[in-house]
Amino acid sequence: MAKQPSTKKRKPRSGSKRGDLSRDKLIASAIELIDEGGADALTMRALADLVGVTPMALYNHFSSKRDLLAAVAEHIIGAAHFDGQRGDWREQIGHCFEILRTLCLQHPGLPGLLEQDGVAPGTAFAPMEVTLRALRSQGMSELDSVRTFFLLIGFTLSQASYQARPIPALEPSEKIRTERIAGRGFKTVERLEMPPQWDFDASFAFGISLILNGVEATISKH
């Protein structure tokens, strides 16, 4: 589960000097902050405190906070291989969004980071390119291909977000069914037998398959 932004002051790393800093080291430290506390945890002050320098020292490497955020986003997204070079269009799309989901699970603050104005790198459009090529190869119209892309990315981001930070109060566990649902007329939910541990991987694969089954059915009608 993703951690809430930390309120405690982090201990600076010992021995940090301006001469020891590099752009790559600062990006790695910035990603550490994002992974721990989300996109809002990454500030010039927080990063400076983490590496043990003054905030002004960071401006030798980044012109602004936006420049820093953009560099972090490019580092994370740019290293991902969304194009799996799969011959089957379904496998190609499945690979693409599995990679995106993995990135979001590794870096729960990534979606929030990409929402920042001017931060998303050009490489953020790689999943769209892969998806549109795959769908257009099957004869789907350009507009429907774009609609399908947004459906896939919305599902992927929301599923990864929920996996990183579940909402126990909304899960119909036996305890919740007994205490909050019983007697309210939700008989189907009351009789629900949930597995002891939710399989997010299987759930994601099911969701992607469901969407692509719909795509296939839509294409076959035309």
**pLDDT (tens digit, 9 = 90+) per residue, 162-209?**
998 888 888 888 888 888 888 888 888 888 888 888 899 999 999 999
Q: Where are the CATH 1.10.357.10 domain residues in the chain? A: 81-220
Question: Has residue 9 got a pLDDT over 60?
Answer: no
CATH 1.10.10.60 domain locations along the chain: 18-62
Own/partner contacts of 111-118, CB < 8 Å, gap of 24 or more, are 111/157, 111/160, 111/161, 112/38, 112/39, 112/40, 113/34, 113/39, 113/42, 113/69, 113/72, 113/73, 114/73, 114/77, 115/39, 116/39, 116/66, 116/69, 117/66, 118/66, 118/70
What is the average per-residue pLDDT within 110-117? 88
Measure CA 147 to chain center: 20
At 19 the pLDDT is 54
Summarised one tens digit per residue, pLDDT across range 127-164 is 999 999 999 999 999 999 999 999 999 999 999 999 98
Mean pLDDT across the chain, nearest whole number? 88
What's the whole-number mean pLDDT along residues 111-137? 93
* CATH 3.40.30.10 is right for the domain spanning 81-220: no
| pLDDT given at position 192 | 86
Rounded CA separation 199/192 (Å): 16
CATH homologous superfamily for 18-62?
Answer: Homeodomain-like (1.10.10.60)
Q: How many CB atoms lie within 10 A of CB 47?
A: 23
Confidence of residue 7 (pLDDT cuts 50, 70, 90): very low
